[in-house]
Structure 1
Amino acid sequence: MIEVVSIKNEKTAATRPVVHMWSAKYDHVDGQALVTTRVAESCKDANFSAITYRAGGWSSLISSLGGYIKFWALVINTRPDVIYLVCSRSFLGFVRDIPILILAFSGYRVVAHAHGSDLKDLFRKKLIGPVARFLYKKCEIILPSTHLVSEVKRVGVSKVHVCENFHNTTVSRHFDEAKGTLHVLWNSNVIASKGVREVVQACELARGQGVDLHLTILGKVIGDHEASEEEMARWLSSIQESGWISVLGSVSRSKAQDFLTSSDVVALPSRYKSECQPLALIDAMSAALEIIIVDTPALRSTVGDYPAMVSGAAPSSICSALLKILEDRCMRQSLLQEAAQRSKVRFSPERFDSEIDAIFCDRSIDKNYSEGVE
């Protein structure tokens, strides 16, 4: 199903860039969809058109044919200043993006927005990698994290931009010094390589040492190379009767925000291959929660100077971080609140809108991202 959306503001048509977007549908709740929605809304003062498709298997390529015709006709008839591509990093997704990427060879300015860490993996693939590197060299790429810059620049793309994601609520945690229970929140998709099983085991270890702890698990069950969707669903079912774990599945963003106000810790010891800038961590930082991560470039770059707990990936190491949080929970509150204020500025929607606007208008951003975090 192809959808075409057009927005035009006659008063600013002469001064604002003409932007045509090619994207998977963004009518659901995940980080990429939220960012794409924000970009579309921030372009309402420009001449903006979007053609979206429903992602899927090989059959989705056939269903996208009509979209390609509409998009190319739109480009030829209105000659945009920017072709904004919400690019895919998978093999099939890359094949779907090829008819858009090749427009850069006809003199169009193609700006591809990558929402995961695995674009560099696409460039490394033996068969498709050289083709991907060749096509992307003519494009500009927006990355959400500095840690990706060095490797993407090595491909030789025309320009690399960094535009971090945003936090769009004003939720703050209600800290109660007298509260005994430690409330731990899992606020990401339930994927084995994100470390959710290790978090549960760590919480079990902490409870075994006398900690009064409750764990809430939010998120959709998804399979990966470590465990299939069916395996993860069975595992979730096996822990639901524990009495101290609440498994609530995928919830609305507003509902997930509500859980931040009553939680103490967000744990995300993720080794997920496409982890880039998790929304769960941005939300947790803005709400002044304790955070537990493992030491990966993606997670370290996301937390920045926020005083997160960095642990090993083993349950025993995560448990040690939980015990440390419990021991220091009162004296760390002012530190967390100060860090939260910095995070709100860093991840503000206004900052995001300003940087996207600067990219589309081809203005420089006052940042130096020539080197990423290694």
Structure 2
Amino acid sequence: MHTSKAQRTSVLFFTNFPPPYTGHTVNNELVFGWLNDAQKKKINISNSKGRLQSTGLLRIGGIVSHIKKLIGLRKELNRRRYNCLYMTFSHSTLGFLKNYLTTLAARGKVDFIVGHIHTGSYSSLFRKNLLRPFTLSFVTGVDRFIFSSERMYAKCASYIQLNKKFVLENTLSKELLVSKEEVELKIRSRKKEDTFQLIYISNMIPSKGYKDLAKALVLLSGNSAIDFHATFIGGWMARSDELEFLSFLSENKLEKFVTVLGAISDRQALRRALMEAHVFILPTYYPTECQPVSIIEAMNAGNAIISTFHASIPEYVKTDVNGVLVEKMSPLQIRDAIVRLYDFQYWIECATGSRRVFEEKFYPDVVKLKFMDFLETLK
């Protein structure tokens, strides 16, 4: 039987894997899973012990840990010759320096160095005076930069040559994948359901927009014509943030309209939550936002989308196609978008559009094939 070059390509993954479950750690796990056991190995460089952490903070322990990981990397590269070193690239100064040291450690020991970028702020690195002595050398030493969208590459086009660019959309795990038939049944069943189910899934960070959504729900609660329920799913950075949010809900008499679940690591539970929802809402203005995986997961389950004109989101969420885009930090526009989607026929059009966009751009087999074809180009 003929074996393609992609199936023969050996790849060493030197990156972060879950937990915690973030967009880029989940993506790393997915890409790793596409390759057969004989051609892959992972070195998990996560130092978070499964907890969410603020990015860009200088931690002595983290530096020491990374040096230990680099020693392990060198040992593995001396033990076996890999065709490709797969990394994820950071936009922070400390993260960049770690990436730079890693490429230096690997140079000459692998055939290709590939860096996957999951941040919308990567171009900011090239404008930092402190890093200018290193960025040109770094770009020269990296063979391919993987971006999640053309929009994200466009920000870096002045610094990274076109022939080093590869665009690979995010996708989702098979545990969350919903069949086309299930989505069609969900859409047909909507008319029988009394409560309009709204859902937010992301880390509970203010710039992800969860407070803006809560304020929109306060406005919506005054509309007696709409029977709604909103579910918030996501991990908290601090207990004080959670208590403040719960207090806000109580003060505004939203407890009967809202459920706050915290982080969910059970993929089947998350799948059920997405299938029970009708509208997914992520009013993000997160500074390093790129291509939120949670939106892709929601489209997969046939949810209409409400999100913002931010990062790469307008490339695949379009008003009147699969949802409604709103301005950042605009609770009133979020409320109006919910009211608009409450119209049954309009919701059907947008929910159907979401599933269509998912199948065309983000379906796991589509993205996997694109990545395997990419490995074929590493010659």
Cα deviation, residue 289, structure 1: 1.1
Map residues 104-183 of structure 1 onto 2, 5 A cutoff: 106=108, 108-139=111-142, 140-157=144-161, 159-167=164-172, 168=174, 169-170=177-178, 172=183, 173=186, 175-183=189-197
Match of 1:8 in 2: none
**Letter matched to residue 321 of structure 1:** A
Cα deviation, residue 112, structure 1: 0.3
Report the CA distance shift for 1:105/1:71 in structure 2 as closer, same or farther (over 3 A): closer
Map residues 337-348 of structure 1 onto 2, 5 A cutoff: 337-348=352-363
Q: Matched residues in 1 for 2:202 and 2:218: separation?
A: 20
Match of 1:33 in 2: 25
Instruction: Answer whether contact 1:281 1:291 (CA < 8 A) is retained.
Output: yes
Instruction: Answer whether contact 2:170 2:291 (CA < 8 A) is retained.
Output: yes
**Letter matched to residue 28 of structure 2:** T
Give structure 1 stretches of 5+ with no counterpart: 1-10, 223-228, 365-374
Instruction: Answer whether contact 1:21 1:84 (CA < 8 A) is retained.
Output: yes
Match of 1:309 in 2: 324
Match of 1:368 in 2: none
Q: Matched residues in 2 for 1:49 and 1:356: separation?
A: 17
Report the CA distance shift for 1:184/1:133 in structure 2 as closer, same or farther (over 3 A): farther
Match of 2:67 in 1: 65
Cα deviation, residue 334, structure 1: 4.5
Match of 1:18 in 2: 10
Map residues 93-108 of structure 1 onto 2, 5 A cutoff: 93-102=95-104, 106=108, 108=111
Match of 1:336 in 2: 351
Report the CA distance shift for 1:312/1:354 in structure 2 as closer, same or farther (over 3 A): same
Q: Matched residues in 2 for 1:312 and 1:333: separation?
A: 23
Is 1:258–2:272 an aligned residue pair? yes
**Letter matched to residue 171 of structure 2:** F
Q: After the TM superposition, which of the residue ranges 256-265 and 166-175 deviates more from structure 2?
A: 166-175
Q: Matched residues in 1 for 2:195 and 2:5: separation?
A: 56
User: C-alpha offsets along residues 221-264 of structure 1, whole Å, 9 cap, x if unaligned?
Assistant: 13xxxxxx455223222145422110100012321221112211
Q: Matched residues in 2 for 1:196 and 1:349: separation?
A: 28
**Letter matched to residue 38 of structure 1:** L
Instruction: Answer whether contact 2:305 2:354 (CA < 8 A) is retained.
Output: no
Q: Matched residues in 2 for 1:333 and 1:345: separation?
A: 18
Q: Matched residues in 1 for 2:367 and 2:165: separation?
A: 16
**Letter matched to residue 220 of structure 1:** G
Match of 2:210 in 1: 196
Report the CA distance shift for 1:193/1:133 in structure 2 as closer, same or farther (over 3 A): farther
Match of 1:320 in 2: 336
Report the CA distance shift for 1:208/1:52 in structure 2 as closer, same or farther (over 3 A): same
What's the RMSD between the two structures over aligned residues?
Answer: 2.6
Q: Matched residues in 2 for 1:80 and 1:233: separation?
A: 45
Instruction: Answer whether contact 1:203 1:213 (CA < 8 A) is retained.
Output: no
Instruction: Answer whether contact 1:184 1:213 (CA < 8 A) is retained.
Output: yes
Report the CA distance shift for 1:304/1:144 in structure 2 as closer, same or farther (over 3 A): farther
User: C-alpha offsets along residues 28-73 of structure 1, whole Å, 9 cap, x if unaligned?
Assistant: 4222122111221212165222222232532122123332122123
Report the CA distance shift for 1:145/1:292 in structure 2 as closer, same or farther (over 3 A): same
User: C-alpha offsets along residues 203-226 of structure 1, whole Å, 9 cap, x if unaligned?
Assistant: 11011122322111100113xxxx
Q: Matched residues in 2 for 1:363 and 1:131: separation?
A: 25
SS in 2 for 1:128: helix
Give structure 2 stretches of 5+ with no counterpart: 49-58
Report the CA distance shift for 1:18/1:125 in structure 2 as closer, same or farther (over 3 A): same
SS in 2 for 1:137: helix
Is 1:212–2:217 an aligned residue pair? no
Q: Which runs of 4+ in 1 moved over 6 A?
A: 11-15
Report the CA distance shift for 1:361/1:355 in structure 2 as closer, same or farther (over 3 A): same
Aligned-residue identity in percent: 22
Report the CA distance shift for 1:161/1:216 in structure 2 as closer, same or farther (over 3 A): same
- The number of residue pairs the alignment matches comes to 347
